[in-house]
Structure 1
């Protein structure tokens, strides 16, 4: 045994009891033999060593117990959960650091401070029932209530209590207070967000639905249910492919592929199943906490009115363009009429008067002037005759009387007949109802045929040409082809294109039409033009 560790002295009362028991039971020492005395001394020495060893074990156990006590005391003091020891009267014995922070109070409380003192007034009945249950049973009790710290806002906590074993015999309890404030705030915030989302979902004019990774509908608002003709229970049994018509399933699969890749996607101009109109769908991916796409959101927007407004704008634009075109064509017609009248009444009359005077002069000089002068006069007279004829032809082409008086078919037939000759034979074919073509469009078609035939006569060196006009309900198609020398299509690009073809293209573009030219050297040329028939102008 170590010198600095003295064995504890036996309790005096225990010593006295031992002496009383031994009185009269121990034989006097003088009755012992030497051998018995030596044996007795040896036994006493062995017993003394045994006691010393037991005392060492007791001291080591006490040190170990002190170390364990200090360890558990530190664990109690610095545990992240608030702990309180509470007497059977509900008074706070001690608390750890977390409890001190929870209540904003030092770890040592006055003797008359009960835990009930820190409970929010409305929640005190909950604590009373909790403490009564804790006092009446050996098991663990729990409750949720709010504690009011010395400073700051109330904290929502979960109390867990159990009975402690004490050496005094008086009941004492260990109460843990788990702070749920942030979790409750997050839960309330999530609940508020869900309620807000629900209100927005139900008050939205757009159809909205959630779907999972298998494209099954999880929930849909009333606008979507109404447009699809489904109840809420029926909608929960559907998939996205039942929302969209079969003709849009391919577009839907493509859009879903983009959603699973984490991108937004759209499907446009879907026909409503129960009424006239269209809607467009936007598909938005939804992610979980690990940013994985677990489903999506379908937003169906009614675009019927938007499409109607766009069509109305296009119609107004076409009407305005038609009005501009009519004004341009009318101005051209007025200008052609003015030029034709000027040629006929001005230049034509002058040329005719000049020819008459020249003929009188030649008659007067007949037999008097030499033959050369007479021949020159006859040649000049012939040139004047050709000039008069050309002036009449140009005047007639500027304002074809047949077009104005008898319509497009008669005018084109007359144009083809006058163009045909020994060197160029022109055929003409008309299908459809030419009577539908009126006003500016007839004039444009006549000018196009006239310009194309002039190009054939001037440049094609063709022996045959063919003109076909097809009058359809919504468009008119003009085809002019020849068997002439043709040309490289590259010549139509840029400045190398002829003036006639450029004017034709401009005229077709002005009418929002289409022109195709097919030609190759020594292979002839084919020009196909398609012009839309403008809708009738609304009256009033």
Structure 2
């Protein structure tokens, strides 16, 4: 054995070759040691001894080979037994440890030398020792492999060990137990955690306020109490086992077929693992509901199921629909409004911009939303406008602006700046600007005003014509009737007496004739029709006694005749103003100015009388006070073929004191 090195023990074939080589070398040496002169008997004896030696060496070689193979097997056994990843134990019928490997010693928490001859039950938790004893009894009674799972104590730490053992009988007819120890603490913890998780899931499943259903193969396999309440069922049997199409209308409100949509959502769920969608279905009582469905794949005991949560969103959906309808209505109002509408937040950024404003400013909504109003309209970027917006935000009062210009569409625009209030009335969230095109309205107002003026002029013209006709009729009646009678009476008296009477009655008769002629002239100045306005006004001034009121006349531009009714109106105005001066002014001098310039006619009558302190003015007749002439009357009008606006002046002027 000393001739073999350590490597030869691990390589039997190489050791055998080395032995044979040494045997051949020895045989050669022995053969050479016998001389040829040696007797034959001795040579045969030596050869026999050499042959016997060779046989002994060959046997020795076989023994060495067997020993090497046994050592190799032992090393393999050591590797398989001592260094195995699981624990191996050999127990006698009393449960005493006879042999164990390193892993078993590690599981028991001590070295092998100390564990030998100890009873394995010492390491079993007290509550499991009876079960361990039953396990040993089962091993003794049967040759069948027995298993159990026990709790072991190692250094005050619990381990869950799975034991598997068989009964064996040694060549000496000794019964032993071969055990396998496997640490299943991690699996046990995972199983326990899974059980806790499953219990928690079951609790959440049953107690959840949301309706929860478990689905397998598009059929409901379980549901909680909330799902029953949602569907209007009293027992699970009314819902469990039903297909997902149960109590679902054939078509969803969007128009899709429900069966096709179920398959579509299932495909999305398979692709994403979790899927959320809204679903329309009915309860057992026929009530329609909108549900929000959140479906997720889960694994329950190795089975792939769908965990679906149903939430009743019927009220929210109705509110959303109402909000959407209100939003569409608001957008429709904005887009179809005849007014331009701009909404701003508190920072002056544009949040709404309707189509009408797009026409006014020439900018689309997408370009301006989110922009500052002052950047869109640089002309508004002034301290006055910024102060105006700040005032609206602070005070919450509406502001109206007139004559706002725009770039693209010229015209007349009014702007109404209104504060936007939140749910709390005191909370002002922004400003709403309503821009209204007043161009057409102003045009219509102007046309209406002109129409009213035209109608008034026609009415006044008719009134004046009627008045003049009536005046003329009365004047003719006075002149041709009363005047002729008075004049006939005068002639009759003169004829009877043969001379003009000299008594007071005759003087009164002459005065009556003169007054009749004067009244007739004043009612219908025929001279106005015969000789024109200028001559008629001069005649009117001449009829005023010079001693009572000197009158100075100034005319310009009256060479061309005016429309008849205008001439009558001017004559009546001046006549009425003269009457007022004579009755109330107590003046010593008067001035008359009638000036025509282009299409304007101005009338001014001034006197140096006492005047008046009233600041009253009328639309067409004005009064002023100056140092030289205390009373001043005047009016002006535009010339037109119809009755002028100053035709109202006589009644206005006569109202002054």
Q: TM-score range by the shorter chain?
A: 0.5 to 0.7
Q: Secondary structure at the match of 1:294?
A: strand
Is the counterpart of residue 410 in structure 1 residue 516 in structure 2? no
Match of 1:229 in 2: 362
Report if the CA contact (8 A) 1:479-1:529 is conserved: yes
Report if the CA contact (8 A) 2:346-2:393 is conserved: no
Whichever of the two has the greater Rg, that structure is 2
Is the counterpart of residue 312 in structure 1 residue 447 in structure 2? yes
* Cα separation, 2, equivalents of 1:395 and 1:219: 75
Q: What is the alpha-carbon root mean square deviation over aligned residues?
A: 5.2
* Cα separation, 2, equivalents of 1:122 and 1:484: 105
Q: Secondary structure at the match of 1:377?
A: coil
Is the counterpart of residue 394 in structure 1 residue 519 in structure 2? yes
Is the counterpart of residue 100 in structure 1 residue 228 in structure 2? yes
Is the counterpart of residue 526 in structure 1 residue 655 in structure 2? no
What does 1:377-526 align with in structure 2 at a 5 Å threshold?
377=502, 382-419=507-544, 421-430=546-555, 435=560, 437-471=562-596, 476-486=601-611, 513-516=619-622, 526=631
* Cα separation, 2, equivalents of 1:381 and 1:350: 14
Task: Tell me which moved more, 403-412 or 522-531.
Answer: 522-531
Task: Tell me which moved more, 256-265 or 90-99.
Answer: 256-265
Q: Secondary structure at the match of 2:451?
A: helix
Match of 1:212 in 2: 345
Q: Secondary structure at the match of 2:470?
A: helix
Report if the CA contact (8 A) 1:227-1:272 is conserved: yes
Q: Which residue of the other structure, out of 73, 79, 104, is the alignment partner of 2:208? A: 79
* Cα separation, 1, equivalents of 2:388 and 2:239: 74
* Cα separation, 1, equivalents of 2:236 and 2:329: 46
1:399 is displaced (CA, Å) by 2.7
In the superposition, relative to structure 1, how do residues 363 and 241 fare at CA in structure 2: closer, same or farther (>3 Å)?
farther
Is the counterpart of residue 14 in structure 1 residue 142 in structure 2? no
In the superposition, relative to structure 1, how do residues 241 and 480 fare at CA in structure 2: closer, same or farther (>3 Å)?
farther
Task: Tell me which moved more, 336-345 or 253-262.
Answer: 253-262
Report if the CA contact (8 A) 1:431-1:469 is conserved: yes
1:345 is displaced (CA, Å) by 3.4
* Cα separation, 1, equivalents of 2:480 and 2:386: 72
Report if the CA contact (8 A) 1:85-1:172 is conserved: no
Q: Deviations over 1:33-84 (max 9, x none)?
A: xxxxxxxxxxxxxx9xx9xxxxxxxxxxxxxxx9999998665533322334
Match of 2:122 in 1: none
Report if the CA contact (8 A) 2:340-2:354 is conserved: yes
Q: Secondary structure at the match of 1:320?
A: helix
Match of 2:262 in 1: 124
Match of 2:373 in 1: 239
Report if the CA contact (8 A) 2:420-2:429 is conserved: yes
* Cα separation, 2, equivalents of 1:244 and 1:529: 48
1:170 is displaced (CA, Å) by 3.5
Match of 1:333 in 2: 468
* Cα separation, 2, equivalents of 1:222 and 1:489: 54
Match of 1:161 in 2: 296
Report if the CA contact (8 A) 2:589-2:608 is conserved: yes
Structure 1: gaps of 5 or more residues? 1-6, 22-46, 51-65, 135-139, 365-373, 493-504
* Cα separation, 1, equivalents of 2:127 and 2:375: 93
1:228 is displaced (CA, Å) by 3.2
Structure 2: gaps of 5 or more residues? 1-124, 140-152, 157-194, 249-257, 644-657
Report if the CA contact (8 A) 1:252-1:267 is conserved: no
In the superposition, relative to structure 1, how do residues 80 and 203 fare at CA in structure 2: closer, same or farther (>3 Å)?
same
Q: Secondary structure at the match of 2:296?
A: strand
Q: Deviations over 1:245-290 (max 9, x none)?
A: 97x9989986995687667665567667555654555556545566
Q: Deviations over 1:65-111 (max 9, x none)?
A: x9999998665533322334567x77756433223233444564599
Match of 1:369 in 2: none
Q: Secondary structure at the match of 1:83?
A: strand
Aligned residues: 451
Report if the CA contact (8 A) 2:298-2:306 is conserved: yes
1:177 is displaced (CA, Å) by 0.7
Report if the CA contact (8 A) 2:342-2:434 is conserved: yes
Match of 2:311 in 1: 179
1:398 is displaced (CA, Å) by 2.7
1:409 is displaced (CA, Å) by 2.5
Report if the CA contact (8 A) 2:399-2:418 is conserved: yes
* Cα separation, 1, equivalents of 2:129 and 2:599: 126
In the superposition, relative to structure 1, how do residues 75 and 132 fare at CA in structure 2: closer, same or farther (>3 Å)?
closer
Tell me the TM-score normalized by structure 2.
Answer: 0.54
Match of 1:42 in 2: none
* Cα separation, 2, equivalents of 1:404 and 1:460: 30
What does 1:284-299 align with in structure 2 at a 5 Å threshold?
286-288=420-422, 292-299=427-434
Report if the CA contact (8 A) 2:228-2:239 is conserved: no
* Cα separation, 2, equivalents of 1:145 and 1:192: 19
RCO higher in 1 or 2 (8 Å CA, sep ≥ 6)? 1
Match of 1:321 in 2: 456
Q: Deviations over 1:452-504 (max 9, x none)?
A: 323433444322222233546676443333333456759x9xxxxxxxxxxxx
